[in-house]
Chain A
C-alpha cells in the first residue's frame, strides 16, 4: 500500500477505538512487566486483529511491555485487551514479584553471564 498514511501520519485506528474507549482492563491488574501466557493455542476469530495478535505472541511467556513494544501500541491499550482475554480465560498472568532466594539466584545468574 503506497501512501500518505505512513507511520509519520500516526495510527489509522486510534488506540481508544481498539478498546471501545475503555482505559482500564475489565479484569486483572497488569503491571508493565507482568508476564502473560496463552492457555490455548486456538486462533480466536471473534475478535479484533490486535487481540488475535496478542494471542499469537503469548503462546510463550512474554511481558506486557514486550507485547506493547512489538505491536507498537501504548501499554495501556494492551492492558485493556489483555483484560478481555483474561476474562475469557484465554490467558494467565503473573505480576512482578521476588523473594530473597530469587535475588541470590539472579546474582548467580548474572555472574555466569
Chain B
C-alpha cells in the first residue's frame, strides 16, 4: 500500500489488427500471442448516426462487438496487447473508441479481395493513428509486390506495405517491428 501505481503496475500498449472478414486477423494475433487467444465483448458508442440507424429507432448509441486479443510480455514494465474485432469491418465508424490510445494499427489485406480493404484504409487515413498494410499471402492468391498493393490501394508512399503469412510467428513479428519503426519515424517528423 502507498506505493504509486506506476511502480506496481506494468504499462499496457495496444496495437489494433484490422481488416475485412476472413482476412486472417484472428490468425495473426494467435500466431504471436503468448496466451491462447481470448475473446470478450465490448460496447462501443457512436454519435447516433451511421449505417445501423433504423427509421423510427431514435438515437441508437451503442453496439456490442466481439473482441479477440492476445498478449506479448515485453518486460516487467511493458505488456503489448494485440486486438481485433472478428468480422466487424462494417462497424468501422465505431472504431474511434477502440483506437484511442493505440500505438498504431495493422491493416491486414488479401490480394484476392483488395477492394474490401478500402473502408479500413480510409478509416485510418482520415485519422492520426499510424498504420501499415500487411498483405496476407494465401496459397491460391497471386503474388503481387508491395508496390503493386501500394498503388492499388492508393496509399501514401510513407505507409509501409509488406507481404506476410499471418500463420507464421516470425512473419508477424516482422510486421509488428515494421509498424513500430513507422510509428517512431512519424513521431520524429
- Residues on A close to B: CB < 8 A? 31-37, 39-40, 61, 63, 65-66, 68-70, 74-76, 92-98, 100, 102-107, 109-111, 113
| Dominant SS among interface residues on chain A | mixed
Residues of B within 8 A of A (CB): 1, 5-6, 8-14, 32, 38-43, 64, 67, 69, 71-72, 74-75, 78-81, 83, 98, 100-103, 169, 173, 176-177, 180-181, 183-184, 187
- Partner of B39 from the list A36, A63, A69, A95 (CB cut-off 8 Å) is A69
Q: Is the CB of B42 within 8 A of A66?
A: no
Using A103-B184, A109-B75, A110-B177 as known contacts, say yes or no to A94 and B11 having CB atoms under 8 A apart. yes
Point out the residues of chain A lying under 8 angstroms from B176, CB to CB: 110
Taking CB atoms, residues of chain A closer than 8 Å to B38 are 65-66, 69-70
Say yes or no: A111 contacts B11, CB within 8 Å: no
Complex contact B74–A106 (CB within 8 A): yes
A35→B32 CA distance, assembly (Å)? 20
In the bound complex, how far is the Cα of B169 from the Cα of A34, in angstroms? Answer: 26
Separation of A109 and B176 alpha carbons in the complex (Å): 11
Contact of A96 with B101 at beta-carbon distance under 8 Å, contacts A39-B1, A75-B40 already known: yes
